[in-house]
Structure 1
Amino acid sequence: MKPLLRALPLAALLALPAAVHAQNDLSNFSATGRGGVINTFAQGYQAVGINPANLGRPGEPTVSFTVGEFGAGLASQTLSKSLFERMLNDFDEPLNQAQRSELVSALSGDNVLNLNLDATSLGLAIALPNGLGGLAFSNRVRMAAHVGLNPNAADIIVNGQNAAVMKQYYPAPNTSGQPTPTNPNAPLVSTVLDGTSIQLAATSEYNISYGVNVLDKPGVKVSVGAGYRYIQGLGIADVRADGGSLYAFSALAPVFDVNYGALANNPNFNSINDSGLFNSVGQGHGFDLGVALEVGKLVRLGASVTDLGSMKWTGNVVTANDQRLQQTTSQGVDTYNFVDEIAKQFDTNGQSLFTYEAARERKAALPGKVRLGGGVRVSSLFEAGLDVTLPLNKVAGNLTAPFVGLGVDFKPVNWVRLSSGLSGGAGYGTNLPLGITLVSSVWEAGVSSRDVLGYFSDKSPHYSIAAGFLRFKIGGDK
């Protein structure tokens, strides 16, 4: 994984010196098996970051906890499965001109790559006595990456200074190693790259959530809840060219193995060099608010707003401003190992698309979302739900588009729960999820995939897995 961790942010075309983009809830194997549908299903610690009001619902577990749940997902809407496999297995294969053209086409699109890595080290929830509600705690590490490239960006990555837009304004090749004077007639980089977004966000968060029942009448029960999280920022890269404007900055911890070159000597550069795995380059505070409603014995409704707040990035901060297109020194890629080649293209010792600047700090909003859910719980044997999740902004780590999902849980026998459904949006196309969970009176273990068809699809490959083996629930509705 280390080459990918290093290259994705550096490949942020353009905001990161090389010498120098998500659905969520993959760490919850039950939610992954339903394609991300969770709002009305979440119990105990699972309500953290989803809908804290669920902690106040009647029938919640007396105690629930988990250790070491994890998940990973990788998907593309433009790369074919065969091309993706060539990049993995034949990455040293030299490219001919036809293959270069194929690669440019495959890298052009709004969702070239979506990557999620999630892990919950510990989740714990306790139902307080005397109707005082429920309290939950958790620690979760998350990384989300998104790559969307317009045809110019894809062409520049693959062909460097031989890209069509480069040849238009800089017809003579540059082999001197010295910067080519900027053509005063060249367009702004934001224009050339319009529609391009390359994003990565990695955080470690410590959560506390509380929910309480505020109305308990025959046929109607209402709970409300709130959550707070302290967030350590492990890294961010956020590059967006949209509608004639450019937004570009990064702050990456030493674990990403970035060499900032001469920028490290700038007095405005707050260098963080300690190579500890969770050495942070920023911190922030997030908040969740939610309400949950039960109508009769069957119907559940939920609504929440999550990830309100912001991050302040203070270490290894690099920014880039809009400017006229200048000739890069890169000759482009010559093998299928384009991710690593991207990192080599934007060396601070050579001329790249941007002029990089050091900064003391940068503030950025959290990836806020509105979550809406409705569900029917027939019994402990069958439950179905519908979720809609709407991103509130376009920052790194957020969904690239609204998500809609339909999910079901079914227990054919007392010791097995099957999960499936149908989901779409958020940059992942249409998914058919599947999950299986082994169930006892207090213990659960399971494995799931967000899209079982994605393993076999040649047009839009999607690989995902989530698993957990140490989940416990004591008391409450099973």
Structure 2
Amino acid sequence: MKSFLRALLLPALALGSQAAQAQNELSNFTATGRGGVATTFAGDYQAIGINPANLARVGSPKVAFTIGQFGVGAASQSLTRSQLNQFIFHPDEKLSQADKLALAASFTSANALNANIDVTTFGLSVSLPVIGSIAISNQQRISTHVGLNRNAAELLFLGYNAPIITQNFNADGTPKNPATVPLVSEALAGTELQMAWLNEFNVAYGVRVLDLPKVQLMAGAGYRYIEGVGVVDVRVNGGKVEAYGSMSPLFDINYGKLASNPQFNLRQRDSGLQPVGKGNGFDLGLSAELGKVVRLGLAVTDLGKMTWEGNLVTANDQKLKRLRSAGVGSYNFIKEATELFAAGSDSLFQYQPGTKRTADLPTKLRAGAGVRISEYFEAGVDVTLPLNEVAGNLSAPFVGVGVDFKPVKWIRLSSGATAGAGYNVGIPLGITLTSKVYEAGISTRDVAGLISKDNPYVSVAMGFLRFKIGQTQ
């Protein structure tokens, strides 16, 4: 599993910034048990990044805090269960020629791999009389999306033996006919490889703006200061190539001759995460409770921009060139992928140094409605729409129905049904041990995905240090 976690972090060695199916509820084990349905459910510090208005909801804890909640998920609409398991549990196993051919076929998909790691290192919310509720947290959000056309998949796993290479180049690397060598935009059309790693420091505020016996209306806002640890975006669509990357020295990339270019903002290896970008983000939200039964929520999250400066490289369209490697040699394919798609010596692209690049944050619109019959049963429906195409956003709308049910006071069961955002229909499941002051739980976004042979989805979220004190009126 350790190697798999590294594999989710290191695709940034290979790419630049665009959507990667991020769901920042993955570190919230209660929301994960509902498949991410959270717009009307999430309260206290868990409302950060979802709907800050819920901080002021009636019945929220006066104080809530946590340390070390996290979630990990990986899904594919084209890999088999066996192939995904190999990447997770046996990454160092060597690939045979038959394995390479099978993986090249499996990775020919718009959703060959979607993966996320979300960690809430700490979270705290406090409800203050009259003035409202405030929350703070730190979150690590990592998201990866791999979608390849046939040529890109064959180049990745077969290298210079890929059909498009043997058709256009001699064994010594010279073109058979320079006039017919295709452009990258032609050869890799439909290919997307994206990754983003953000370190966020959040603060959010919620207040009741209307407080009547049967109607409460809450409003909230959130701000986050963001450190960009890495971003990668390679998009080949519509006859155009957009490729850039900005990676922390943590990734130890060898930039070769680029490192000596005076226009290249080289960051040296030091300690810590060593961010290479920074940004500011904002969330806005409204929520309402009608008759203490019906809950409504509406929020826009991740408004703002990121600016990437350190180790920034960019590439545009160009003629395809012959690779020197025979492609990926093991299930731990990150190093070879790096050489293929990043600024390595065997890259498909000729990268140029950059000084600064600004990109929008992955802005989303969230809408939800739910009913809370009692403390023992709550149900809700969520719709989340991506409002732009940038690193960390959803590739398509997300919809879901979620349910919380307490068969006894100390156990809460969560489930539902979800679809969209690059994933198939999922049946989530979560189990939470709960009391008036303490919660601990474990959940998955899709029970069937854990065992199904096709369309596998491996996900788990857990937290064991969530505490709640008091209750607002």
Which TM-score bucket, shorter chain as reference? Answer: over 0.9
The number of residues matched between the two structures is 466
Q: Which residue of 2 aligns with 1:362?
A: 357
Aligned pairs (5 A) from 1:14-29: 21-22=20-21, 23-29=23-29
Q: Distance in 2 between matches of 1:333 and 1:242?
A: 24
- How big is the shift at 1:262? 1.6
Q: Which residue of 2 aligns with 1:8?
A: 11
- How big is the shift at 1:61? 1.7
Q: Which residue of 2 aligns with 1:56?
A: 56
Aligned pairs (5 A) from 1:150-169: 150-169=149-168
Q: Which amino acid aligns with 1:165?
A: I
Q: Which residue of 2 aligns with 1:89?
A: 90
Q: Distance in 2 between matches of 1:6 and 1:382?
A: 38
- How big is the shift at 1:297? 1.8
Q: Distance in 2 between matches of 1:401 and 1:362?
A: 25
Match of 1:189 among 179, 184, 190: 184
For the structure 1 residues 302 and 149, does the alpha-carbon distance in structure 2 shift closer, same or farther, using more than 3 Å as the test? Answer: same
- Kept in 1, the 8 Å contact 2:76–2:113? The answer is yes
Greater mean alpha carbon deviation, residues 322-331 or residues 112-121: 322-331
Deviations 1:157-199 (A, max 9, x none): 12223322233332x1236xxx769924333212221211111
Q: Distance in 2 between matches of 1:121 and 1:86?
A: 29
Q: Which residue of 2 aligns with 1:246?
A: 241
- How big is the shift at 1:399? 1.2
Match of 1:261 among 256, 266, 278: 256
Equivalent position SS for 1:25: helix
Q: Which residue of 2 aligns with 1:222?
A: 217
- Kept in 2, the 8 Å contact 1:285–1:309? The answer is yes
Deviations 1:207-236 (A, max 9, x none): 111111112234322111111100011111
- Kept in 2, the 8 Å contact 1:174–1:329? The answer is no
Q: Which residue of 2 aligns with 1:288?
A: 283
Say whether 1:272 aligns with 2:270.
Answer: no
For the structure 1 residues 276 and 182, does the alpha-carbon distance in structure 2 shift closer, same or farther, using more than 3 Å as the test? Answer: farther
- How big is the shift at 1:57? 2.2
Q: Distance in 1 between matches of 2:344 and 2:253?
A: 14
Q: Which residue of 2 aligns with 1:469?
A: 464
Q: Distance in 1 between matches of 2:344 and 2:392?
A: 30
- Kept in 2, the 8 Å contact 1:115–1:145? The answer is yes
Equivalent position SS for 1:153: helix
- Kept in 2, the 8 Å contact 1:67–1:122? The answer is yes
Greater mean alpha carbon deviation, residues 323-332 or residues 371-380: 323-332
For the structure 1 residues 424 and 348, does the alpha-carbon distance in structure 2 shift closer, same or farther, using more than 3 Å as the test? Answer: closer
Structure 1 unpaired stretches of 5+: none
For the structure 1 residues 72 and 335, does the alpha-carbon distance in structure 2 shift closer, same or farther, using more than 3 Å as the test? Answer: closer
Aligned identity (percent) is 51
The TM-score with structure 1 as length reference comes to 0.92
Deviations 1:124-167 (A, max 9, x none): 1111212x221111111111111111111101112223322233
- Kept in 2, the 8 Å contact 1:329–1:350? The answer is no
Q: Distance in 2 between matches of 1:349 and 1:229?
A: 34
Q: Which residue of 1 aligns with 2:33?
A: 33
Q: Which amino acid aligns with 2:171?
A: P
Say whether 1:399 aligns with 2:398.
Answer: no
Q: Distance in 2 between matches of 1:114 and 1:408?
A: 25
Q: Which residue of 1 aligns with 2:69?
A: 69
Deviations 1:79-116 (A, max 9, x none): 101222344437534423x4433221101111111111
Equivalent position SS for 2:321: coil
Q: Which amino acid aligns with 2:462?
A: A
Deviations 1:346-402 (A, max 9, x none): 686745321111111111111110111111001111101111111112211111211
Q: Which amino acid aligns with 1:52?
A: P
Say whether 1:143 aligns with 2:142.
Answer: yes
Q: Which residue of 2 aligns with 1:112?
A: 112
Q: Which residue of 2 aligns with 1:101?
A: 101
Deviations 1:258-309 (A, max 9, x none): 1212211111111112332321111000000111011212100101000010
For the structure 1 residues 265 and 128, does the alpha-carbon distance in structure 2 shift closer, same or farther, using more than 3 Å as the test? Answer: same
Q: Which amino acid aligns with 1:134?
A: S
Q: Which amino acid aligns with 1:322?
A: D
- Kept in 2, the 8 Å contact 1:410–1:417? The answer is yes
For the structure 1 residues 317 and 381, does the alpha-carbon distance in structure 2 shift closer, same or farther, using more than 3 Å as the test? Answer: same
Q: Which amino acid aligns with 2:166?
A: K
The TM-score with structure 2 as length reference comes to 0.93
- The alignment's C-alpha RMSD in Å is 2.2
Q: Distance in 1 between matches of 2:211 and 2:27?
A: 32
Q: Distance in 2 between matches of 1:202 and 1:89?
A: 24
- Kept in 2, the 8 Å contact 1:58–1:213? The answer is no
Say whether 1:423 aligns with 2:432.
Answer: no
Q: Which amino acid aligns with 1:128?
A: L
Q: Distance in 2 between matches of 1:349 and 1:100?
A: 22
For the structure 1 residues 454 and 350, does the alpha-carbon distance in structure 2 shift closer, same or farther, using more than 3 Å as the test? Answer: same
- Kept in 2, the 8 Å contact 1:403–1:423? The answer is yes
Q: Which amino acid aligns with 2:232?
A: A
For the structure 1 residues 347 and 181, does the alpha-carbon distance in structure 2 shift closer, same or farther, using more than 3 Å as the test? Answer: farther
Q: Which residue of 2 aligns with 1:341?
A: 336
Q: Distance in 2 between matches of 1:107 and 1:269?
A: 33
Aligned pairs (5 A) from 1:383-462: 383-462=378-457
Q: Which amino acid aligns with 2:303?
A: L
- Kept in 2, the 8 Å contact 1:182–1:324? The answer is no
Equivalent position SS for 1:187: coil
- Kept in 1, the 8 Å contact 2:168–2:177? The answer is no
- Kept in 1, the 8 Å contact 2:343–2:349? The answer is no
Q: Which amino acid aligns with 2:410?
A: W
Q: Which residue of 1 aligns with 2:197?
A: 202
- Kept in 1, the 8 Å contact 2:65–2:124? The answer is yes
